[in-house]
């Protein structure tokens, strides 16, 4: 049994600490100002849904040629025109949509430069494109000669890669969730907001503030990501010191703590909405990007970077948990808190470390998530459910279980689109969560014990 | 400043439609959490079950049934079949889906799964793929005619100190009647031997089990029954606003119900009523006050705009949840021994 009571003394000072944490958070957000509202001049920047793509073909030596001046017409489900766009010098075109839904896109073949033809003319207009809320859908019109289509293997490989990417992002966000649960027993529903705050801090540096008095590097996303990690790390520390430590000291029950975390989740989420508005934002220079063709799948360069980078971070975290004193202490506390405490481990110190590292990783994960999709006020909350699915899949409270479960959840989400329509892909992961609880409630890597 | 509007919104919050909806949902949650200790964070999906059970039967499923089977049910018949679906069939279905995997496990698993089920339902209902069934993100309308045809009040007059139109007043009267019946049922249930077993499970499940009580079965019964109250609440909401939309039942709605319950005192028969009335009196009147302040430029529009006023109530609810759970888990009128958000 895990006991939440450390010392039964009441700390009257902790109200001040709670208020301090709230004021600090408000202050941070207030600095942000009406961030997204300033991004109007870009035209397409403000819309939350759009369809677009990059029209390109290969030259004789296999180099990329982007086609300019080709017209695209977007029609809604009823067949009426939503908008048109011409591809620019980099082959990029985009049409803003009034809402999510099903659309079709027609490439006006007469505007194609001479010597180019569609590979699949029967797929023009391209119909039944499902655009989910707050997404920028990319469509592909392959040019050139018709290939023997082994479409199905292509699609499975492509979805596997996409799923791996999503799974890695869920994993980096979920490690903190799992470690916090393991060391304190708290099911932290406010963890998703750390993800959002991380993404938004990077956005402030990358887009809103234009701070370049020390050079251009200050507006780069790399610097934004570093700041995001710092801010979320500090917030995690403050959150633990200001809220959770006093609650633990008072001997508050885990259920009360769970309800408190839900309260913080909704409070912070709506402060973010209040400050940033309901629209989506994008990091500069990371909207579309070039892709690399691996034959059976293609991957955007930024996505490849994300996958390699997150894998590196996760390997580092794994090594740290396995080899360092602090990492061993964390696993010990997660495993058996009382035993760890009685063998001389400073449990409060370990918990503090877990909060800092877990929150910082969530912030970093938020930046990665923001690079692949977009940045909005409830991105973290939407990811939270997937994190729970991953963490429960792998076994609540185990660090490696969180990794494995998250990656499986990511794969499951993407591969489920083979059967489910795209806008219901998250349903796949949530259903998997329920099924796993039926069959193996302790999770894949959890120890088999009575949990009820 | 329009003081009359502020006072009106205060009273509408105290006794109006929203109060009725959330009081009913909170009675259900009280059975779940207050008496049995179940951490249900998906009460919104039971409310959605009530709204969609009725709306789908009248607007989409019913007409199709008529076409394909030649049953030829009138709209009135469909309405009452819809009420039965909404209050009995759907809640049982959802409670089984949530309960079977989790009721044998530790309490927080139920919390995660209930949120997940609520989200699954909302995503599926929003999907254009099921437009023919749920009306996707626009939702369903045109199912409340039968109810308002029963209204004895004139549609043009104003009733009860000019607070309600005829139809609204009819809904409020019916709502209050349902609330009175529901509270009585709840009061009788928790005093019965059945209710005492629920409390025993809440206090110590192992002890209850060792006395030969089938805790799993009792918890499932409580989940279903509380879900039915939630479904009635959702149905009142759908009829009252004449629309069933997926985004009326987002996860945050569940948190409103939780605040109402904890505010009034979980584990008290009148807790949900008091909590919901207080919550909506505070939310609705503060909403009106803020709107007036913004409109009359007492608050500069650079600081708060009209749409931002609507977000303030969510912040109040979030902060309220934090402060209540941390400082007064037994609520305003609750009793510390009876209910203190304990581990169980």
Nearest-Cα residue of chain B relative to residue A189: B112
pLDDT value, residue A416? 87
In chain B the beta strands, taken as DSSP E runs, fall at 140-141, 158-159, 164-165, 243-244
CA distance readout (Å), A246 to A11, A49, A279, B297: 7, 44, 36, 41
Nearest to A255 among B308, B315, B342 (CB): B342
Instruction: With H, G, I as helix, E, B as strand and everything else as coil, classify residue A51.
Output: strand
Mean per-residue pLDDT for A376-405? 86
Residues of A within 8 A of B321 (CB-CB) are 259-260, 262-263, 266-267
pLDDT band at A16 (very low <50, low <70, confident <90, very high): low
Q: How far apart are CA A181 and CA A203, in angstroms?
A: 29
Instruction: Assess whether A116 and A188 both reside in one domain.
Output: no
Q: Do B128 and A101 touch (CB under 8 A)?
A: yes
CA distance readout (Å), A254 to A186, A250, B323: 6, 12, 15
Q: Do A266 and B317 touch (CB under 8 A)?
A: yes
pLDDT at A9 over 60: no
Residues of B within 8 A of A424 (CB-CB) are 123-124, 127, 129
Q: Which of A133-137, A228-232, B221-225, B280-284 has the lowest mean pLDDT?
A: A133-137
User: How many CB atoms are closer than 10 A to CB B83?
Assistant: 21
Residue A122 tokens read as 């029967």
Q: Which of A129-133, B146-150, B297-301 has the lowest mean pLDDT?
A: A129-133
Does residue A101 belong to any structural domain of this protein? yes
pLDDT band at A64 (very low <50, low <70, confident <90, very high): low
More confident residue, B106 or B270: B270
Give the distance, in angstroms, between the CA of residue B14 and the centroid of all CA atoms in the same chain.
16
Of A113, A148, A183, the one marking the end of a domain is A148
pLDDT band at B344 (very low <50, low <70, confident <90, very high): very low
Q: How far apart are CA B172 and CA B192, in angstroms?
A: 30
**Which residue in A367, A409, A401, A392 sits closest to A194, CA to CA?**
A367
In sequence order, the 6+-apart residues with CB closer than 8 A to the CB of B119 are A385, A426, A430, B251
**Which residue in A31, A303, A271 sits closest to A167, CA to CA?**
A303
Q: How far apart are CA B93 and CA B203, in angstroms?
A: 27
Instruction: Assess whether A207 and A290 both reside in one domain.
Output: yes
Nearest-Cα residue of chain B relative to residue A12: B327
Instruction: Assess whether A165 and A274 both reside in one domain.
Output: yes
User: How many CB atoms are closer than 10 A to CB A216?
Assistant: 8
pLDDT at A172 over 90: yes
pLDDT band at B196 (very low <50, low <70, confident <90, very high): very high
Distance between B121 CA and the closest CA of chain A, angstroms: 9
The top-scoring range by mean pLDDT among A150-154, A183-187, A376-380, B218-222 is B218-222
pLDDT value, residue B272? 93
Note the pLDDT tens digit of each residue in A250-271.
888 888 888 899 999 999 999 9
Does residue A376 belong to any structural domain of this protein? yes
Q: How far apart are CA A65 and CA A392, in angstroms?
A: 47
Mean per-residue pLDDT for A131-145? 74
Q: Do B322 and A267 touch (CB under 8 A)?
A: yes
pLDDT band at A398 (very low <50, low <70, confident <90, very high): confident
Q: Do B343 and A254 touch (CB under 8 A)?
A: yes
Note the pLDDT tens digit of each residue in A150-170.
444 578 888 899 999 999 999
Q: Do B116 and A392 touch (CB under 8 A)?
A: no
Instruction: Assess whether A181 and A302 both reside in one domain.
Output: yes
The top-scoring range by mean pLDDT among A90-94, B40-44, B165-169, B203-207 is B40-44
pLDDT at B6 over 70: yes
pLDDT at A32 over 50: no
Q: How far apart are CA B219 and CA A419, in angstroms?
A: 35
pLDDT value, residue B126? 87
Does residue A40 belong to any structural domain of this protein? no
pLDDT band at A144 (very low <50, low <70, confident <90, very high): low
Mean per-residue pLDDT for B174-188? 95
Q: How far apart are CA B67 and CA B228, in angstroms?
A: 30
Q: What is the mean pLDDT of chain A?
A: 79
Cβ pairs bridging A and B (under 8 Å): 144
Number of domain units in chain A: 2
* Residue % of chain B over a pLDDT of 90: 50
Q: How far apart are CA A293 and CA B132, in angstroms?
A: 40
- Helix, strand, coil % in chain B, rounded to nearest 5: 75, 0, 25
pLDDT at A13 over 70: no
Nearest-Cα residue of chain A relative to residue B328: A256
Of A148, A171, A200, the one marking the end of a domain is A148
Contact status of B101 with chain A (Cβ, < 8 Å): yes
Is residue B312 within 8 Å of B297, Cβ to Cβ? no
Note the pLDDT tens digit of each residue in B113-169.
999 999 999 999 988 888 888 888 888 998 988 899 988 888 888 888 888 888 899
Mean per-residue pLDDT for A170-197? 92
**Which residue in B278, B339, B266 sits closest to B28, CA to CA?**
B266
Residues of B within 8 A of A257 (CB-CB) are 325
Q: Do B129 and A421 touch (CB under 8 A)?
A: yes
**Which residue in A301, A289, A264, A234 sits closest to A380, CA to CA?**
A264
CA distance readout (Å), A428 to A143, A152, A195: 34, 20, 22
pLDDT value, residue B210? 92
**Which residue in A77, A262, A235, A203 sits closest to B137, CA to CA?**
A77
pLDDT at A362 over 60: yes
Residues of B within 8 A of A432 (CB-CB) are none
Contact status of B216 with chain A (Cβ, < 8 Å): no
Instruction: With H, G, I as helix, E, B as strand and everything else as coil, classify residue A73.
Output: strand
pLDDT value, residue A361? 96
pLDDT value, residue A38? 38
Distance between A356 CA and the closest CA of chain B, angstroms: 22
Mean per-residue pLDDT for B18-44? 94
Note the pLDDT tens digit of each residue in A65-83.
777 778 788 877 766 777 7
pLDDT band at A124 (very low <50, low <70, confident <90, very high): confident
Q: How far apart are CA B50 and CA B53, in angstroms?
A: 5
Q: Which of B61-75, B79-93, B252-266 has the lowest mean pLDDT?
A: B61-75
Q: Do B105 and A273 touch (CB under 8 A)?
A: no
Does residue A4 belong to any structural domain of this protein? no
pLDDT value, residue A3? 39
Mean per-residue pLDDT for A176-203? 92
- A226, burial (CB in 10 Å: exposed 0-12, middle 13-18, buried 19+): middle
Distance between A418 CA and the closest CA of chain B, angstroms: 15
In A117-180 the beta strands, taken as DSSP E runs, fall at 126-131, 136-138
Residues of B within 8 A of A5 (CB-CB) are none
pLDDT at A42 over 80: no
pLDDT value, residue A147? 43
Residues of A within 8 A of B343 (CB-CB) are 4, 253-255
pTM equals: 0.79
Query: For tokens 């329009």, what's the residue?
Result: B2
Of A148, A182, A209, the one marking the end of a domain is A148
Give the distance, in angstroms, between the CA of residue B88 and the centroid of all CA atoms in the same chain.
15
Q: How far apart are CA A168 and CA A308, in angstroms?
A: 10
Q: What is the mean pLDDT of chain B?
A: 89
Q: How far apart are CA A66 and CA A78, in angstroms?
A: 32
- Region of B247 (left: φ > 0; alpha: ψ -120 to 50; beta: rest) is alpha
pLDDT value, residue A22? 54
Q: Which of A44-48, A273-277, A345-349, A379-383 has the lowest mean pLDDT?
A: A44-48
Is residue A341 within 8 Å of A248, Cβ to Cβ? no
Nearest to A255 among B39, B115, B312 (CB): B39
Q: Tell me phi and psi for residue A97, to 5 degrees.
A: -110, 150
pLDDT value, residue A30? 47
CA distance readout (Å), B341 to A258, A299, A340, A441, B92: 10, 49, 28, 25, 26
Residues of B within 8 A of A254 (CB-CB) are 108, 343
Q: How far apart are CA A235 and CA A191, in angstroms?
A: 11
Structural domain range at position A65: 50-148
Contact status of B297 with chain A (Cβ, < 8 Å): no
Does residue A226 belong to any structural domain of this protein? yes
More confident residue, A119 or A313: A313
Nearest to B321 among A262, A271, A433 (CB): A262
Mean per-residue pLDDT for B60-77? 86
Contact status of B96 with chain A (Cβ, < 8 Å): no
Q: Do A263 and B106 touch (CB under 8 A)?
A: no
pLDDT value, residue B313? 85
Q: How far apart are CA A196 and CA A366, in angstroms?
A: 6
pLDDT value, residue A337? 85
Give the distance, in angstroms, between the CA of residue B47 and the centroid of all CA atoms in the same chain.
5
Looking from the CA of B262 toward its CB, the CA atoms found within 13 Å total 27
Instruction: Give me the CATH number covering residue A264.
Output: 1.10.3470
Q: Do B101 and A426 touch (CB under 8 A)?
A: no
Instruction: Give me the CATH number covering residue A61.
Output: 2.60.40.10
Nearest to A452 among B104, B126, B129 (CB): B104
Instruction: Assess whether A266 and A358 both reside in one domain.
Output: yes
Does residue A37 belong to any structural domain of this protein? no
Q: Which of A70-79, A177-186, A264-273, B222-231 has the lowest mean pLDDT?
A: A70-79
Is residue B259 within 8 Å of B119, Cβ to Cβ? no
Nearest to A259 among B252, B308, B341 (CB): B341
Q: Do A262 and B255 touch (CB under 8 A)?
A: yes
Residue A4 tokens read as 């939440």
Nearest-Cα residue of chain B relative to residue A395: B109
Q: Tell me phi and psi for residue B289, to 5 degrees.
A: -60, -45
- What strands lie across the sheet with A71-76, from one edge to the other? A81-86, A71-76, A101-107, A126-131
pLDDT value, residue A59? 58
Q: Do B101 and A437 touch (CB under 8 A)?
A: yes
Kindly report the length of chain A. 452
Q: Do A252 and B311 touch (CB under 8 A)?
A: no
pLDDT at A452 over 50: no
Mean per-residue pLDDT for A177-183? 89
Nearest-Cα residue of chain B relative to residue A77: B128
Distance between B307 CA and the closest CA of chain A, angstroms: 9
Instruction: Assess whether A374 and A236 both reside in one domain.
Output: yes
* Residue % of chain B over a pLDDT of 70: 97
Instruction: Assess whether A299 and A201 both reside in one domain.
Output: yes
A369 membership: H or E segment, kind and range: helix A347-372
């Amino acid at each position: 049994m895990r006991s939440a009571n450390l010392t039964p003394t009441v700390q009257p000072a902790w109200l001040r600490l709670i208020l301090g944490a709230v004021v600090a958070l408000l202050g941070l957000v207030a600095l942000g100002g009406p961030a997204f509202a300033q991004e109007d001049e870009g035209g397409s920047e403000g819309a939350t849904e759009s369809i677009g793509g990059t029209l390109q073909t290969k030259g004789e030596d296999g180099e990329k040629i982007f086609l300019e001046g080709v017209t695209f017409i977007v029609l809604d489900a009823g067949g009426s025109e939503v908008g048109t766009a011409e591809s620019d010098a980099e082959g990029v075109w985009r049409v803003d949509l009034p809402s999510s839904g099903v659309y079709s896109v027609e490439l006006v073949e007469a505007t194609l430069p001479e010597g180019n033809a569609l590979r699949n003319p029967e797929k023009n207009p391209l119909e039944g494109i499902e655009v989910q809320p707050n997404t920028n859908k990319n469509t592909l019109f392959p040019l050139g000669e018709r290939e023997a289509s082994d479409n199905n293997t292509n699609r499975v490989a492509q979805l596997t890669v996409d799923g791996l990417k999503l799974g890695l992002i869920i994993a980096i966000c979920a490690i903190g969730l799992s470690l916090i649960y393991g060391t304190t027993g708290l099911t932290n529903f406010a963890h998703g907001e750390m993800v959002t705050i991380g993404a938004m801090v990077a956005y402030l540096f990358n887009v809103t503030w234009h701070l370049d008095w020390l050079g251009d590097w200050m507006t780069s996303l790399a610097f934004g990501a570093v700041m995001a990690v710092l801010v979320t790390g500090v917030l995690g520390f403050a959150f633990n010191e200001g809220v959770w430590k006093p609650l633990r000291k008072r001997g508050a029950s885990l259920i009360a703590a769970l309800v408190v975390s839900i309260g913080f989740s909704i409070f912070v989420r709506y402060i973010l909405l209040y400050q940033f508005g309901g629209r989506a934002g994008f990091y500069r220079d990371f909207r579309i990007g070039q892709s690399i063709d691996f034959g059976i799948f293609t991957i955007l360069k930024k996505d490849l970077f994300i996958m390699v980078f997150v894998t590196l971070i996760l390997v580092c975290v794994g090594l740290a948990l396995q080899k360092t004193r602090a990492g061993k202490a964390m696993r010990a506390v997660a495993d058996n808190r009382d035993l760890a405490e009685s063998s001389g481990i400073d449990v409060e110190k370990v918990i503090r470390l877990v909060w800092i590292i877990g929150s910082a990783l969530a912030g970093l994960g938020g930046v990665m998530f923001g690079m692949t999709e977009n940045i909005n006020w409830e991105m973290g909350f939407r990811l939270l459910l997937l994190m729970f699915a991953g963490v429960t899949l792998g076994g609540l409270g185990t660090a490696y279980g969180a990794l494995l479960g998250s990656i499986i959840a990511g794969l499951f989400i993407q591969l489920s689109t083979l059967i489910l329509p795209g806008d219901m892909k998250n349903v796949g992961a949530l259903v998997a969560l329920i099924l796993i609880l039926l069959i193996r409630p302790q999770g894949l890597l959890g120890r088999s014990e009575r949990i009820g | 400043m329009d003081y009359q509007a502020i006072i009106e919104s205060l009273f509408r919050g105290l006794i109006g439609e929203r109060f009725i909806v959330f009081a009913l949902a909170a009675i259900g949650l009280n059975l779940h959490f207050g008496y049995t200790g179940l951490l249900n964070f998906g009460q919104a999906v039971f409310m959605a079950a009530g709204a969609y059970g009725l709306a789908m039967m009248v607007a989409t499923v019913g007409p199709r049934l008529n076409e394909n089977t030649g049953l030829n049910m009138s709209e009135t018949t469909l309405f009452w079949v819809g009420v039965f679906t909404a209050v009995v069939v759907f809640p049982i279905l959802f409670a089984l889906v949530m309960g079977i995997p989790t009721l044998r496990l530790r309490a927080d698993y139920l919390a995660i799964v209930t949120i997940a089920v609520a989200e699954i339902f909302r995503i599926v209902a929003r999907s254009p793929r099921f437009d023919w069934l749920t009306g996707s993100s626009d939702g369903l309308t045109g199912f409340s005619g039968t109810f308002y045809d029963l209204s004895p009040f004139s549609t043009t007059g104003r009733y009860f100190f000019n607070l309600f139109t005829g139809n609204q007043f009819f809904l409020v009267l019916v709502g209050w009647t349902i609330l009175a019946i529901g509270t009585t049922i709840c009061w009788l249930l928790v005093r019965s031997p059945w209710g005492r077993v629920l409390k025993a499970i809440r206090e110590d499940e192992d002890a209850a089990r060792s006395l030969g009580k089938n805790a799993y079965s009792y918890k499932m019964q409580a989940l279903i029954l509380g879900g039915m109250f939630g479904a009635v609440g959702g149905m009142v909401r759908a009829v009252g606003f004449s629309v069933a939309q997926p985004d009326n039942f987002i996860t945050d709605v569940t948190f409103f119900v939780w605040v109402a319950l904890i505010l009034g005192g979980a584990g008290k028969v009148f807790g949900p009523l008091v909590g919901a009335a207080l919550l909506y009196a505070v939310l609705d009147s503060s909403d009106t006050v803020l709107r007036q302040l913004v409109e009359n430029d007492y608050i500069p529009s650079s600081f708060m705009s009209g749409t931002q006023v609507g977000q303030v109530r969510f912040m109040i609810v979030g902060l309220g949840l934090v402060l209540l759970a941390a400082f007064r888990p037994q609520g305003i009128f609750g009793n510390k021994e009876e209910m203190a958000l304990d581990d169980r």
